[in-house]
Amino acid sequence: MSSIADTADFSTKTPSMRRWKFGGLFNAGLSWWFVIPALMLYCLIIVYPMLSGTGYAFTNWNGLTPDYSYVGLANFQRMFGDPQALSAISTTLIMAFALVVGKIIVGLLLALALDTEIKSRNFLRMIFFMPVVLTPVIMSFSWKYIFSTTGALNQIIKLLGPASWAQQWLGEPTLALFSVIFVTGWGSVGLAMVIFLAGLQGVPKELIEAAKIDGASSGARLRYIILPLLAPAMTINVVIGLVQGLKFFDQIYVLTGGGPGYATETLSTIIYKTSFQFGEYGYGSATALVFALLVAAIVFAATHVLRRREIPSG
């Protein structure tokens, strides 16, 4: 019956409709031919190195000579027994968590402050967003000078108070960790602010006005109206912050090089040093594979939890 119906339906279509249908299929097939070059380039630059790195994680290749041998899980056993690698995992998680919390709080406060009718709001938005467009290396070198023993920060502290208040911002382990987190947060909080500002544009003004008429305080309006409606923007900011925090490298390499000691050593710096400075490409690949799986697991879990808190549109 269905074949007869299909035949009847096909016969009822005009030649122009059939030409349009076949033309659409032809165009859809043609579009794939335009995608193929980009897809091949992506596989060559992204997919192939990833698969090759995964394979080298099970070898003792030094990255220079063509000779290597398979060592099974030895690189992974070495990594999970290495105190420096375990410390790097801990430091990476601390930095990512601190960056996300700092960006969310400061970015949200800036967005709320600049989502008003003040005349200078556009100028202030530009000022706070400007660090986002700076190159991380150049930004880090600037802050390295500011944080140095004779730098601008200590000079200002000495002008305002006793000389003993001056600190070795990049030479003391706790302060070095704080300084690296601060520099990265300073360079990326503008992006969080812009995402929250975009989310605030979707908050109905009628709800805010109705809450004001009903006597709701500013805190109540923020808690029960604005924050729930900002959940999608919160999800985006958390995911971006996690990815940025987990792949810390430029700022650490320029500011501290992973020191003092191993205080600011992260998985990214461990991968770079073992692979390209110590010639242990196989061990570095194993660390990178664990690092990639860690990032994927954390980002997936965070996204899953945050998406469940979002209010469905419509």
What would the pLDDT profile of 81-100 be if each residue is shown by its tens digit? 888 888 888 998 998 899 99
Q: What are phi and psi of 70, to 5 degrees?
A: -80, 135
CA gap 141, 170 in Å, rounded: 12
Torsion angle (degrees, nearest 10) of CA 298, 301, 302, 303: 120
What pLDDT is attached to residue 198?
92
What pLDDT is attached to residue 3?
46
What pLDDT is attached to residue 162?
82
Nearest by Cα to 187 from 284, 234, 254, 92:
254
Question: Residues of the chain whose pLDDT is less than 70?
Answer: 1-29, 311-314
CA gap 186, 181 in Å, rounded: 8
What pLDDT is attached to residue 104?
92
Structure tokens at 144: 């390295």
Which residues lie closer than 8 Å to 186 by C-beta, 6 or more apart?
A: 131, 143
CA gap 251, 261 in Å, rounded: 17
What pLDDT is attached to residue 27?
63
DSSP state of 1: -
CA gap 146, 296 in Å, rounded: 35
Residue 68, SS3?
A: coil
Residue 311, SS3?
A: coil
Looking up tokens 């690698």, which residue turns up?
A: 85
CA distances in angstroms from 44 to 41, 47, 48, 50, listed in the order given? 5, 6, 5, 10
Cβ atoms 179, 99 nearer than 8 A: no
Structure tokens at 284: 């570095």
CB atoms within 10 A of CB 185: 23
Nearest by Cα to 238 from 176, 301, 178, 182:
301
Which residues lie closer than 8 Å to 153 by C-beta, 6 or more apart?
A: 146, 147, 169
Cβ atoms 97, 245 nearer than 8 A: yes
Nearest by Cα to 294 from 90, 84, 57, 18:
90
CA gap 169, 111 in Å, rounded: 30
